[in-house]
Amino acid sequence: MIDLSELLNKMLTAPGLSGYESPIREILQEVWAPLTDELSVSKIGSLHGLKRGQGDAPRRKVMISAHMDAIGMMVTHIQDSFIRITEIGGIDHRILPGQPVIVHGREELPGVVVQPPGHLLPESVGDGPVEMKYLLVDVGLGPDELVKKVRVGDIVSYAQEPLELTGEALAGHTLDNRVSVAATTLCLEALQNRFHDWDVWAVASAQEEETLGGAFTSPFDIQPDIAIVIDVCFAKGPGASDWSSLPFGEGVGLGYGPNIHPALYDAFEKKAKELEIPYHRDLMPKMSGTDAMAVQIVAEGIPCAVIGIPLRYMHTPVETVSLKDIRRAGRLMAEFIADLKPDALAHINWEE
Amino acid sequence: MTENQKIQASNIPTIGNRQIKLLEKLCNASAVSGDEQEVRNIVLEEIKPVADEIKVDALGNVLATKFGHGENRVRVMLAAHMDEIGFMIVKKHDDNLFQFERIGGIDERQLPGKAVLVGRDHLPGVIGAKPIHMTTADERKNKIPVDALRIDLGPEIGEKVKPGDRATFATRFKRFGPSIQAKALDDRFGVAILIELLKHAPENIDLLAAFTVQEEVGLRGARVAAYRFDPDMAIAVDSTPAYDLPHWDDEDQNVQYNTRLDAGPAIYVMDRATIADRRLVTLLSDAAQEEEIPYQFRQPGGGGTDAGVIHKTRAGIPSISVSVPSRYAHSAIGLARVDDWANTLRLLYAALVRVTPDLLAGERRG
């Protein structure tokens, strides 16, 4: 049995910013090796794991896409003992002052994001939020040492250690979207002792946070018949209370909207009800904000389902998730896949 | 002591692994103003073997005395505050999230997205923020109001946390390169220095070490500590900001740096609360020059230390402050140099051994 906390801690301590996924990919290669028949890495850096079905060839293919890349920052300038930064992925500059970070220079340099005092900033800033271009990173080295170790273009990652909260809640950075990679891993584990007709392609995709580069390319390689995209979704919490947020720790989200094939939605809803796995319809009236935006329109088009794991404080270093929902998502995907009959594709249609 | 009588090197307290370990323990402890118990316990444990008298007073100050030898010993009070800035839980909401108040001067822009430790059991919690995806560009031009923030300790926190519990940033002490990154360096540096000086107390004076409470909420502990000690002179040992950062356009020179890292201990001439006794300014700067210890004068201006109340206690007490320069005080992570800390300790020792009754014999003059 995989220890979920242990797996998450291992994954969360690895960087793997968009375009620089190799640290997390190498960990996943190790974790997925015993759970899959073949592993490969795509040209853009996504990890593909194939677990063959037991049905007769030619077998249908289901792809699970969980992006493994993380948001973070990049060095834009070095000034004396200080570093200036820009973002990779979407970061609200208002959460950065005082954050622990690691600058990945010639070596790993621990540091802190600094909000300079008002008299060193343009008067227009006043006591308002300080834009990212005015923030600094300090790694505690003098100017001579700093220029030897850091260059423009080096990446900067969050360094907040994961924290175990009460009620099987976990807080930390990059839970978006390592929790979905963990759920995919639990799904692969659950399928070890199960008969399944279809081939299963698990994909830890690259560059979701910037370009959807992995999600556009892996389905082209794999040519799946259907795809399950798993990502985090919004959980209710401070500042997030309207229809777009789901209750925290009380079940998975099933995405509903134009990125999702309605027949796949129905099939997942039916399966969740049958297994008594709590779920919520996660309304996505326009784009889903997930790999499905790309996967759906690769080649001739691919039917997608979107599974969501509710997460508080998305894109901050203290994102918070319930381990219960990760387990639920893993189980739901495994049961759905094990139940895919050789002719299941016939039911993924537009006949109502 | 005459000019050519430099201190014996073997007597000078230094910063080694043991002192760094102790500072780590002090910084990682939680001691928000009014709840200094954890730091007080560490202090008591450290000084019990060396102090001649120890008293914990009505406010919770630790007052330790180490007597010297010989006639006409000057009674020198050193003050370092044990308390730190932080938070108090003030309300539990229906959604199991906690509202909190800031204690001490904390910029609200330093709060979103931080990990905290709540209560004596150091239960981990987070101060989250609304996902950027749900914010508008206009919204991001405004600060996140502190009233909108909550501390989240997970859905099953139950009764383990209640209003009145204190919280601190969860930052753990780190050493890297020439620097330390930690919370509460203001003023655990001072606390650590006082402990070392008690362990290496000069014999020419009576050393009156006050580990004070409630500095961050109005210098309250130092006032009663000074009254009780009734010293001949006092030095507040604190940590002061180094604003030695570049100007935003990278071109204009920053001439308001307060202090700079790597420039040694910061001697105060004047802040908003105290005009230092010039005789003590001279004592410290002469000692630094004679012992070849780097030092700097803190740029005169705002701010204040325990000296602000000590110098006005009883009929008046000649006072000054000396600080370890450190960056980013009152935020989750401060950053300072080990060498500046070590040199502050050396300077204080060098100054104390030079204290004689003659120093304060005449009238105060500039």
pLDDT tens, position by position, A133-146: 999 999 999 999 99
At residue B260, the pLDDT reads 98
Hey, where are the domains in chain B?
A: 9-84+183-360, 86-169
Q: What's the rounded Cα separation, in Å, for the pair B253 and B246? A: 7
What average pLDDT score do residues B57-66 get?
Answer: 98
Strand A38-41 to A47-51 pairing:
antiparallel
Confidence tier at B6 by pLDDT (50, 70, 90): low
Dihedral through CA B277, CA B282, CA B283, CA B285, nearest 10? 120
**Cβ count near A95 (within 10 Å):** 26
Backbone angles phi, psi at A303, to 5 degrees: -65, 130
The reply to whether residue B126 touches residue A320, judged by beta carbons under 8 angstroms, is yes
Residues of B in contact with A158 (CB under 8 A): none
pLDDT of residue A239: 87
**Strands, DSSP E only, in B288-363?**
296-297, 319-326, 334-337
Rounded CA separation B103/B116 (Å): 14
User: Minimal CA–CA distance to B95: which of A245, A272, A233?
Assistant: A245
B71 CB-near residues (< 8 Å, 6+ apart): none
Count H helices and E strands in chain B, helices first: 7, 17
- Number of continuous H segments (helices) and E segments (strands) in chain A: 8, 17
Give the span between the Cα atoms of B215 and A311, in whole angstroms. 39
CB atoms under 10 Å from CB of A151, counted, come to: 11
Q: What is the pLDDT of residue B5?
A: 54
How far is A322 from chain B, CA to nearest CA, in Å? 9
Confidence check: pLDDT of A41 > 80: yes
| Closest by Cβ to B129, choosing from A110, A140, A313 | A313
Distance CA B216, CA B236 (A): 14
- Beta-sheet strands, E only, within B93-159: 97-103, 114-118, 123-127, 151-152
Tokens of A128: 């308002």
Structure tokens at B354: 């030079």
Confidence (pLDDT) at B94: 87
Which residue from B123, B155, B176 is facing A248, i.e. has the nearest CB? B155
* Three-state secondary structure call for residue B129: coil
Looking at the structure, give the CATH architecture of the domain made up of residues B86-169: Beta Barrel (2.40)
The whole-number pLDDT of residue B302 equals 87
Please give the Cα distance from A223 to A230 (Å, whole number): 18
Section A193-200 average pLDDT: 96
pLDDT over 80 (residue B10): no
Residue A315 in tokens = 């894109």
**pLDDT confidence bin for B109, thresholds 50/70/90:** very high
Beta strands in chain B (DSSP E): 53-56, 62-66, 74-81, 86-92, 97-103, 114-118, 123-127, 151-152, 166-169, 174-176, 179-182, 205-212, 233-241, 266-267, 296-297, 319-326, 334-337
- Bridge pairing between strands A252-256 and A279-283: parallel
- Which residue(s) pair with B100 in the sheet? B89
Q: Mean per-residue pLDDT for A161-184?
A: 97
Q: Does A3 score more than 50 pLDDT?
A: yes
Q: What does pLDDT average to over chain B?
A: 95
Contact (CB<8Å) B129/A160: no
As a dihedral over the C-alpha atoms of residue A188, residue A191, residue A197, residue A198, rounded to 10 degrees, the angle is -10
pLDDT at A123 over 50: yes
Confidence of residue B3 (pLDDT cuts 50, 70, 90): very low
pLDDT at A278 over 50: yes
Are B202 and B354 in contact by the 8 Å Cβ rule? The answer is no
Within 8 A of A244 by CB-CB distance, chain B residues are: 134
Q: Which residues of A touch B172 (CB under 8 A)?
A: 161
Which is nearest to B174 in space by CA: A116, A112, A11? A112
pLDDT at A342 over 70: yes
In a mutagenesis test of the A interface, which of B333, B339, B341 is the best target, namely the one with the most A β-carbons within 10 Å?
A: B333
What mean pLDDT comes out for the span B214-235? Answer: 97
Query: Can you say how many angstroms the Cα of residue B168 is from the centroid of all Cα atoms in its chain?
Result: 15
> The dihedral of CA B267, B272, B277, B278: what is its sign?
positive
Q: How many pairs of residues across A and B have Cβ atoms under 8 Å apart?
A: 205
Nearest by CB: B331 against A97, A122, A160: A97
CB-nearest partner of B129 from A80, A92, A163: A92
Residues B250-281 have pLDDT tens digits of: 788 899 999 999 999 999 999 999 999 999 99
How many Å lie between the alpha carbon of B143 and the closest alpha carbon of chain A? 5
B156's tokens: 């099953």
Residue B221, pLDDT above cutoff 80: yes
pLDDT in tens, B281-333: 999 999 999 999 999 999 999 899 999 999 999 999 999 999 999 999 999 99
**Angle CA B331–B13–B67, to nearest 5:** 105
Distance of residue B185 Cα from the nearest chain A Cα, in angstroms: 14
Q: From CA B43, how far away is CA B221, in angstroms rounded?
A: 16
For residue A295, give the amino acid letter.
Answer: V
The answer to whether the Cβ–Cβ distance between A141 and B178 falls below 8 Å is yes
Q: What share of chain A is helix, strand, coil (3-state, %, to 5)?
A: 30, 30, 40
Residue with tokens 């049958």: A274
Residues of B in contact with A82 (CB under 8 A): 245-246
Closest CA to A324 of A5, A35, A13: A5
A78 CB neighbours in chain B (<8 A) are none
CA dihedral A25, A26, A28, A29 (to 10 degrees): 110
Phi and psi at residue B103, in whole multiples of 5°?
-120, 120
How far is Cα A247 from Cα A233, in angstroms, rounded to an integer? 10
Calculate the alpha carbon distances from A47 to A17, A204, B338 in Å.
15, 5, 44
Six-digit token pair at B175? 């050493």
> ∠ CA A235-A91-A170 to the nearest 5 degrees?
40
| φ/ψ of residue A32, rounded to 5 | -85, -20
Residue A269 token pair: 């809803």
Listed in sequence order, the residues at least 6 apart from A274 whose beta carbon sits closer than 8 Å to its beta carbon are: none
In this prediction, residue B9 carries a pLDDT of 60
Q: Give pLDDT tens digits for A145-165.
A: 999 999 999 999 999 999 999
Dist. CA B120–CA A341, nearest whole Å: 56
Reported as a pLDDT band with limits 50, 70 and 90, residue B12 is confident
Q: What angle do CA B139, A121, B103 make, to 5 degrees?
A: 70
Give which of B204, B196, B203 is closest to B237, Cα–Cα.
B196
Complex ipTM: 0.92
Token pair for residue A225? 């018949």
- Give per-residue burial for B89-121: e unless 16+ CB within 10 Å, then b: beebeeebbbbbebbbebbebbbbbbbbbbbee
First vs last C-alpha separation in chain B: 23
Q: How far apart are CA B225 and CA B212, in angstroms?
A: 7
What domains are there in chain A, each with its CATH number?
4-70+173-347 (3.40.630.10), 72-158 (2.40.30.40)
- For A169, which DSSP code? E
Position B4 scores a pLDDT of 46
Q: B28, B85, B99, B109: which to substitute to probe chain A, counting the most A Cβ within 10 Å?
A: B109
Q: Which two tokens stand for residue B341?
A: 């800390």
pLDDT confidence of residue B365: 82
Cβ contact B210:B65 at 8 Å: no
- With pLDDT > 70 as the criterion, what percentage of chain B qualifies? 97
Please say if the pLDDT value at position B8 is more than 80: no
Asked whether the CA dihedral B56, B59, B60, B64 is positive or negative, the reply is negative
**pLDDT in the model for residue A124:** 93
| Pairwise CB contact (< 8 Å): A163 & B132 | no
Q: What tokens does B109 get? A: 């822009």
C-alpha span between A296 and B166 (Å, rounded): 50
Q: Which of B215, B290, B291, B292 is catalytic?
A: B215
3-state secondary structure of A215: helix
The rounded distance, in Å, linking the Cα atoms of B191 and A305 is 59
- The continuous run of DSSP H or E covering B244 comes out as none
Q: What is the pLDDT of residue B366?
A: 75
CA distance A164 to B225: 41
Of B132, B174, B246, Cβ closest to residue A90: B132
pTM of the model: 0.94
> Domain B9-84+183-360: which CATH class?
alpha beta
pLDDT of residue A158: 97
Residue with tokens 């630094």: B288
